[in-house]
Structure 1
């Protein structure tokens, strides 16, 4: 008896889907719970598993067809396909598939036995989460023919949230790069071919023809220097004098890293070389009055930041309320205990620990500020997960401290230091930047005296810290010079009333001006 293969039950918000890919053909045998077809909706890709073991006897919805919830996609028959005209056709298809598979296996076997020996592997992009569709090859840290150790970083894949590292599967050499820097890749796309085994005579033999060919597709010889392709491109971009760059590659080969070092040090500029004068003279009209311009594509992270910030301003009824806080008490506390604190906890006592703890307490008292908006629903969170904005060369990222109410100030400081270091190195995980019920951003470290922070959707509020500046203040009828900081809370007026936003900010001010309140919960 045939078993029906049905589309999954779609959520209420999903009306229909389309058949993205069949992983089996009629006549193929399948095992129970084996992936058989994928249905793509406007939100996610749903996997359909085989309900029973048997043979795929009929496909009723071809790839690209639009299907409804629980629609019959195909049928599974019992046992193996045999007999009759249909069975014969299926057997032929199966035989053809087997022949194709055998041919592929033979070609794979050939590929796995290159002339110099050593098994070959496909280097693939990481499996991206559902929220990430594709990534960009940001950097290749190794070049073709370069010897690498197991788990060495081969390449960085930049997504709109994080940078993912691709590592070497074993000791060996990079045989071929299939996705150049800047190219778009999907989840598990093949990036390169990797040859297992140390870079011995086989690698040298493989590299010799490329070096002697010198046809511009591989290395290029400039004077007495040999440039790798990536290095050649960077030299052209920065208009460098190749003779001033020392190569660290095999045989003095100039690698991309050598050029980058020369750029950073400024040691390979052409200006001092007389031979470069004619070239500069011919290039002068393009520069037009020494006002050069450089056009580079926007990174994925920068695109995502721009999109979210514009979206926040377009969708939220955003207002900002300001106040100022006397930081004298917190600064005195830091000065008194900073040495003891670093000895005890192996981390410096900063300001963020106090602000995170004060914000956690204020969020408990004003649950509307700790809520988020999901469509037409308001989600009240019974916990405080505070995101801390971290600036990197790639852009702004917001890793999240979880359950800050139960964290000690030392734990907060350690978490922020760790986030900052890993954010700058591109090592943050996607799960560390998702969620969050509230955000704190500190523009004061860059000298900002006052600013209007933008809400991080779907959150409903964000706290902006600023520079501490001494100002004359009236204290008990006398003028005193006090270390003051402006605070700003931007909030979504659809969710939070002005009274609550102001009182929330005043609560933070009071807790910081008298830190003992944090201990006494008053």
Structure 2
């Protein structure tokens, strides 16, 4: 018998959570086949079979916390020969389970995520489901987790819509005995039902049902040919012009209550809690300056076409700001530090958080090692993080470990703001709208494209002189981009 052990998890990582077992007890396995996925606060790890044989024991269930060296399970060697029998008789496999139900359990939902809320089930108890068919989405304070059917059969729901659940909790089951009868019983209705349930996420299903949309008429732009929430919302907008001709102007108001109470999503609750905690913990102060964007805009206009042809990505302002921020952090290290108890941790790496607005709220994915990236590398990295954020595909690792944050309210037209620190970081830069304003230039009044900059900082670490110097340095590097190239 060969033990399946938790491997070393990396520097300063003391524990991990069982994310998912890919096999169950009694299954045949091959040496080096992935058996279980572990999640830590930094990375996801795969644990493989130590030998050929049969998975004879699982000692740690999904959701359990383990440490390096923990015995996760065992493989009995030499038992692989018995495993091919089920494959030789696929038609009999569902009946062989004897009607035994396969539990649907809440998966591990990431570091420090202790609970989630059940969304809208896409099937109801008694419905026939296919293996790996999407059944429900669990919403947490950080991400939305999709739960699929573990087997083909008949669904039984235990946890209702809106229920609060924890990792490992059983929320339903699938009776495998129902898999045989389902194809014969429901061929007539299956084609009509599939577009509205099997291929729509809960968020899309909600938009479709609330607006009486026909899923078959929606164009799909998702990465796997699936209909996204944006597709559904776009269909509402496309149908909107026909509404005035069919209904009186007052009709929409007649159907709307004067007030509506809606429970905050877990992501929104977490955003609210973390922002308030940040205000309560740090001694936050904001300093302002303004930057003349003339030279950056001229440089961008001159090279944007050749830049895009060469690198396959557009040249935006964020790469210039990121470069300026990194250079300023080199010179004022306190802004790239954090407090841990009575210690100050100075970071010698430059992982820049880029605030991104999504339909579910604000997220801050992290651009790693920005100090070694070119302008093109920064633009590509930011574009990839933005797409992942809007598609809901960000990983936990991509949202953790930033040392400084940049937020751009200018994309929404903000002229000036006081951004709140992204704890435990000690600084955040707020960019704003570029506005043509009259400025005194060498004794003459000229119209220049100006942007207000705001640096919010933790006064416990960063002194006022350092904060002002930091922001002035960014202003200098943006008003004269050649300084950054020449390291001046």
Category of TM-score, reference length = shorter chain: 0.5 to 0.7
Q: Which moved more, 1:156-165 or 1:379-388?
A: 156-165
TM-score (norm 2): 0.67
Instruction: State the match for 1:414 in structure 2.
Output: 380
CA distance in 1 between partners of 2:442 and 2:186 (Å)? 83
Instruction: State the match for 2:138 in structure 1.
Output: 157
Out of 112, 119, 136, the position equivalent to 1:131 is 112
Out of 189, 192, 209, the position equivalent to 2:169 is 189
8 Å CA contact 1:156, 1:163 repeated in 2: yes
Superposed displacement of residue 511, structure 1: 0.7
Instruction: State the match for 1:360 in structure 2.
Output: 326
User: Which SS does the other structure have where 2:320 is aligned?
Assistant: helix
Instruction: State the match for 1:326 in structure 2.
Output: 292
Change (3 A) 1:46 1:153: closer
- 1:362-417: CA deviation from partner (whole Å, max 9, x where unpaired): 10110000000112221111111110111111111110111110011111111211
Change (3 A) 1:434 1:504: same
Change (3 A) 1:45 1:165: closer
- 1:21-62: CA deviation from partner (whole Å, max 9, x where unpaired): xxxxxxxxxxxx99699xxxxxx96779999xxxxxxxxxxx
- 1:464-497: CA deviation from partner (whole Å, max 9, x where unpaired): 0000001011112211111000000001111110
TM-score (norm 1): 0.63
8 Å CA contact 1:34, 1:50 repeated in 2: no
CA distance in 1 between partners of 2:409 and 2:232 (Å)? 34
1:403 equivalenced with 2:375 (yes/no): no
Change (3 A) 1:450 1:174: farther
Instruction: State the match for 1:166 in structure 2.
Output: 147
- 1:237-264: CA deviation from partner (whole Å, max 9, x where unpaired): 95x7x7xx65869xxxxxxx99989866
* Matching of residues 256-267 of structure 1 within 5 Å: none
Instruction: State the match for 2:103 in structure 1.
Output: 122
Structure 1: gaps (5+ residues): 1-32, 38-43, 52-108, 212-218, 220-229, 250-256
CA distance in 2 between partners of 1:443 and 1:270 (Å)? 35
CA distance in 2 between partners of 1:505 and 1:235 (Å)? 44
Instruction: State the match for 1:112 in structure 2.
Output: 97
Superposed displacement of residue 146, structure 1: 6.3
User: Which SS does the other structure have where 1:474 is aligned?
Assistant: strand
8 Å CA contact 2:208, 2:215 repeated in 1: no
Instruction: State the match for 1:103 in structure 2.
Output: none
CA distance in 2 between partners of 1:493 and 1:189 (Å)? 44
8 Å CA contact 1:111, 1:120 repeated in 2: no
- 1:395-440: CA deviation from partner (whole Å, max 9, x where unpaired): 1111011111001111111121111121122111111111111000
Higher relative contact order (CA 8 A, sep 6+): 2
* Matching of residues 71-90 of structure 1 within 5 Å: none
Instruction: State the match for 2:461 in structure 1.
Output: 495
CA distance in 1 between partners of 2:167 and 2:404 (Å)? 31
CA distance in 1 between partners of 2:386 and 2:207 (Å)? 32
User: Which SS does the other structure have where 1:368 is aligned?
Assistant: helix
Out of 328, 347, 350, the position equivalent to 2:316 is 350
Instruction: State the match for 1:16 in structure 2.
Output: none
CA distance in 2 between partners of 1:295 and 1:324 (Å)? 41
Change (3 A) 1:469 1:381: same
Instruction: State the match for 1:518 in structure 2.
Output: 484
Out of 148, 151, 158, the position equivalent to 1:178 is 158
1:388 equivalenced with 2:354 (yes/no): yes
Structure 2: gaps (5+ residues): 1-56, 72-93, 194-201, 218-228
Change (3 A) 1:246 1:508: closer
User: Which SS does the other structure have where 1:294 is aligned?
Assistant: coil
Instruction: State the match for 1:6 in structure 2.
Output: none
Out of 405, 414, 417, the position equivalent to 1:439 is 405
Superposed displacement of residue 294, structure 1: 1.3
CA distance in 1 between partners of 2:150 and 2:473 (Å)? 54
* Matching of residues 207-356 of structure 1 within 5 Å: 292-356=258-322
CA distance in 2 between partners of 1:120 and 1:505 (Å)? 62
User: Which SS does the other structure have where 2:474 is aligned?
Assistant: helix
Change (3 A) 1:427 1:179: farther
Q: Please give the root-mean-square deviation of Cα atoms over the aligned residues, in Å.
A: 4.6
User: Which SS does the other structure have where 1:372 is aligned?
Assistant: strand
- 1:442-472: CA deviation from partner (whole Å, max 9, x where unpaired): 0000000000000111111110000000101
Superposed displacement of residue 113, structure 1: 3.6
Superposed displacement of residue 128, structure 1: 2.9
Superposed displacement of residue 234, structure 1: 6.7
Question: When the two structures are aligned, how many residues end up with a matched partner?
Answer: 389
Q: If you compute each CA radius of gyration, which structure gives the higher value, 1 or 2?
A: 1
CA distance in 1 between partners of 2:436 and 2:469 (Å)? 25
Superposed displacement of residue 179, structure 1: 3.3
User: Which SS does the other structure have where 1:369 is aligned?
Assistant: helix
Q: Which moved more, 1:186-195 or 1:450-459?
A: 186-195
8 Å CA contact 2:208, 2:232 repeated in 1: no
- 1:285-325: CA deviation from partner (whole Å, max 9, x where unpaired): xx9xx762111111111111111111111121111100000
Change (3 A) 1:175 1:237: closer
CA distance in 1 between partners of 2:170 and 2:101 (Å)? 13
8 Å CA contact 2:418, 2:430 repeated in 1: yes
Superposed displacement of residue 176, structure 1: 3.4
Change (3 A) 1:134 1:359: same
